[in-house]
Structure 1
Amino acid sequence: MNESFRAFLSLTALLALSACSTPESAAAPASTPEVGVITASSTEVPVESELRGRIEASRTAEVRARVTGVILERVFEEGDMVEKGEVLFRIDPAPMKAALAQARAQVGVAEANLEIAKLTAARLEPLVGTKAVSGQTYDDAVAAVAQSEAALEVAQAAVKTAKLDLDYATVRAPISGRIGRTLVTEGALVTATEHTSLATIVQLDPVYVNLTVPVTQIRSLREAQTKGSVHATGEQAEITIFESDGWTYPHVGTLLFTDVTVEPKTGNTLLRATVPNPDQELLPGMYVRARVGGATTEQAVTLPQQAVQRDAAGSSVYVVNAGKAERRAVEVSRSMGNQWVVNSGVEDGELVVVDGFQSIRPGADVNTVAWQPKGEAAPTEVAQADTSKPGTDSASDEAEQGEQADAEQGEQADAEQGDAEQAEQAKQAAGAKQDAKASTEAKGGR
């Protein structure tokens, strides 16, 4: 009975000790999260608009036949650069030469008729005074002289026309530029009346960029200029052509004018700019994106894109105030490189969280360190303010790293707790064994 009671007491003590033992790691206080911050500051920010449009040649000329005839020769090579006045086609000149010879003969006939009319009038003039001829006869002779002079002028004009037709038989380039494919071949009959197109020449340096922009955007910019919040940086606005893959056209263009009409269906108007194109990279009909600048705002705050959080409620940032994290709504207008332009919500001198915000919550205590951007090139693609979600990639990476660290710490704590429990159990088992041995010895003594 005593042995059973003592064994029961030993087992009860063992269980009590196991229940009361707690791992040291469970009592350790949680550490204050550390976040990377920057100090917000206002600066002049360029006012830029991203527009879309198409390339148009600055000059386009269709080469047409000005006389009727058969093409004898094509002088140029398709795709070549041609100069104004350069020979392109030769039309059979035989009919034009014959017409010129005929016109010159008509001049000779007109000159002869004029000479006869003058002599006749000169003979009749003294006879009128003696009444040898009637006045009517003399008047007819004078009129014949005038008619002969007019006929001579007509014949001379016909000669000029024939010379022009003969000259038009040699088709020349009306402008300088690049000539496209030929639309006729040797032996083809071309006519002046049908306006047959022989080829097309386009001038590609410079080129025009026709951009579409909402009228409301132009009105807003003008109102901002009137209020003084936006001011021009030069006499002409500059445009830069770029693509979403990071390519930027090396030559900067200038804005020429804004169209005076508005498209009724879209509410857009046309902006035309001229862009140098010495290497002829830009071709007519190309669809391009352009960044139009030429103005700056008075002051605005710019923040790294990863510092701004976007959700269904809008844009927000974490601001550190007196060592505590404060979530604040901000108004983001547009992007500039890898920065967001913040119109309101953040003041100069405030500390804005850029890194580590995934481990904090509003009102939590935080430790701040100066944030340094990673040694990577800034993205060349300009993000759209209504579709991008800045900071998502870095936040995801840091969250994964935090979860991995927490898992490792948990595994280590579990291991330490398991070791402590095993040691305690071994100690208690040894004590129970000693108690059992003492009980056996006592029984043997009795």
Structure 2
Amino acid sequence: MSVRWKPVVTGVVLAGLIGGIGYAVHDRLNAPAATAGRPPGAPPGPGAARSAVVAVQAGTVAREDVPVWFDGIGTVQAFNTVTVRARVDGELQRVSLQEGQIVKAGDVLAIIDSRALQAQLAQAEAKKAQDEAQLANARRDLDRNMNLKEFASRQTVDTQRALVAQYEAQIRADEAAIEAVQVQLTYTTITAPIGGRIGLRSVDQGNFVRASDQTGIATITQIQPIAVLFTLPEKQLPAILAAQARGSVTVEAQDRQGRRVIDTGTLSVVDNLIDSGTGTIRLKAEMPNDPQKLWPGQFVNVRLLSDIRRDAVTVPATVVQRGPQGTYAYVVKDDLTVEQRPVAVALQEENRAVIEQGLTPGERVVVDGQYRLQPGSKVRIVEPVASAAPVGADPAASPAAIPPATQPAAPPAAPHRRPPGAQGVPADAAPADAARQGRQPS
């Protein structure tokens, strides 16, 4: 007699669905009984918390010196910048500078044709010699008139004296003219006014340069030492001024990620005006920049050391939790139960928090796993997960860290349907029929 298997399969599927629905309804009916007497959204009662052991990571409250840093964003600026320009007109005969070269003050950078100025100097010196000869002759005439005594009129003597004074003044003018030309000659040799690094050259050898040119020949920037300009909120100004009154204030320049210190220097200037638009104050720090890692125009993260808290109570930053009543921390007691204790945080950084009130050095606190805790929960302290674990994984939430009493029961296995055509079983055959056809007679 042939058996129709499709109704059988349909019945098995319906039975499975009814069983799942019954399990869900049973769980829903039992949930209100477990949460009876508690307002909606309230955490489980102490009895439920104590009934399960929660795996957490713990740390110890420490006492140490904590530096207080103010963070800002700054721009690197050359300590001095000079544009090298020609101060006399002439042909640029030689260019000694090289782009990117480090020069010292007084190094020769370029030479301008000086033949025209040398000719002017020769003319000025000849004019002086001519005036000196006339002065000598005027003095001899004055001496002769003075020797004549009463035979020379007073007017003649006075006129000769005036002529001598005139020639003396002319000689002083000649000397000034000679000195002016000599100064112009010194400008034909262009030297570095400061030490620093030369930028890109603007004029090549052989060009005619003028003193009125504004572009200049090249630019020298002093980068050792170098300056960093940055801003901080105005509310931090009193602490900065107090730190400056105690002595030199340390300033660090970090890369854009804030992970590596590029250079360390000192605060040199606090601006005399607060920007009312942004509510910030500008500051300037001096960095030695040795070796040359800071570059003019570079953006850096800046940290200013305003103070050092001596013997401060510190915990890892993850210890501090926030709730409706403020900040708190879970303290592990001797019986391995936790206490939710309010704490006052004086300072919190990325990896560390300074506790002003609420914790005592030496106490154990929960570092990770707080989201499964309630006051009075029983805990089991575990070690941090190895580095092979995925980044950001919660060690307390891993199955290995959960005690057997708290691990969820495995759901019942779903019926498995054999693939069509396996061992000659029809595609629409039921599991029972497939099992019968797969068995060998005894």
* 1:278 corresponds to: 290
Equivalent of 2:279 in 257, 261, 267: 267
Residue of structure 1 equivalent to 2:130: 109
Residue 399 of structure 1 aligns with which residue? 397
* Residues in 1 aligned to 2:145 and 2:189: alpha-carbon distance in whole angstroms: 51
Whether 1:93 aligns to 2:91 is no
Alignment of 1:116-265 (within 5 A): 116-127=137-148, 129-130=149-150, 132-195=151-214, 197-220=216-239, 235-245=247-257, 247-249=259-261, 251-265=263-277
Deviation at 1:374, TM superposition (A): 6.3
Alignment-mate amino acid for residue 69 of structure 1:
G
Alignment of 1:354 onto 2:354: no
| Aligned mates of 2:235, 2:246 — CA distance in 1 | 23
Mapped contact 2:255–2:262 kept (Cα < 8 A): no
Shift of 1:30: 4.6
Q: Secondary structure at the match of 1:95?
A: helix
Q: Which moved more, 1:71-80 or 1:251-260?
A: 251-260
Deviates more, 1:162-171 or 1:331-340: 331-340
1:149 Cα deviation from its structure 2 partner: 0.8
Higher mean Cα deviation, 248-257 or 52-61?
Answer: 248-257
Q: Percent identity?
A: 32
Equivalent residues of 1:53, 1:209 under 8 A apart: yes
> Aligned to 1:45, what secondary structure does the other structure show?
strand
Distance across 2 between alignment mates of 1:163 and 1:403: 92
Instruction: Provide the residue aligned with 2:410 in structure 1.
Output: 411
Give the aligned partner of residue 340 of structure 2.
327
Shift of 1:200: 0.8
**Whole-angstrom CA distance in 2 between matches of 1:249 and 1:46:** 16
For 1:232 and 1:35, the matched residues in 2 are separated by: 44
Distance 1:352 1:173 in 2: 63
Q: Number of aligned pairs?
A: 360
Once the two structures are superposed, residues 201-225 of structure 1 have per-residue CA deviations (whole angstroms, 9 ceiling, x without a partner) of 1111111112212232122566xx6
3-state SS of paired residue (1:78) = coil
SS in 1 for 2:377: coil
In structure 2, the residue matched to 1:288 is: 300
Considering only aligned residues, what root-mean-square deviation do their CA atoms show, in Å? 3.3
Contact kept in structure 2, 1:233 and 1:295, CA below 8 Å: no
- 3-state SS of paired residue (2:116): helix
Distance 1:233 1:69, change over 3 A: closer
- Matching residue's letter, 1:187: G
Paired letter, 2:139: K
- Answer yes or no: is 1:340 the counterpart of 2:353: yes
Partner of 1:54: 75
Question: Alpha-carbon deviations, 1:177-219, whole Å to 9, x = none?
Answer: 1111112223333222455522111111111112212232122
Quickly say closer, same or farther: Cα 1:179–1:332, change in 2 above 3 A. same
- Please give the alpha-carbon distance, in whole angstroms, between the structure 1 residues aligned to 2:244 and 2:178: 61
- Equivalent residue, structure 2, for 1:22: none
The answer to which of 304-313 and 70-79 deviates more is: 304-313
Distance 1:177 1:37 in 2: 54
CA separation of 1:233 and 1:267: change in aligned 2, threshold 3 A: closer
Instruction: Give the secondary structure class of the aligned counterpart of 1:279.
Output: coil
Query: Are the equivalent residues in 2 in contact too, given 1:234–1:294 (CA < 8 A)?
Result: no
Q: Which structure shows the bigger proportion of residues in helix conformation?
A: 1
Higher mean alpha-carbon deviation, 196-205 vs 247-256, is at: 247-256
State the one-letter code of the partner of 1:341.
V
Q: CA deviation at 1:313?
A: 7.2
In the alignment, the residues of structure 1 paired with residue 247 and residue 178 of structure 2 have an alpha-carbon distance, to the nearest angstrom, of 54
Deviation at 1:44, TM superposition (A): 2.5
Unmatched runs of 5 consecutive residues or more in structure 1: 1-28, 226-230, 377-391, 416-446
1:330 Cα deviation from its structure 2 partner: 3.8
| Aligned twin of 2:29 | none
Distance 1:50 1:194, change over 3 A: same
In structure 2, what residue type is equivalent to 1:393? Answer: G
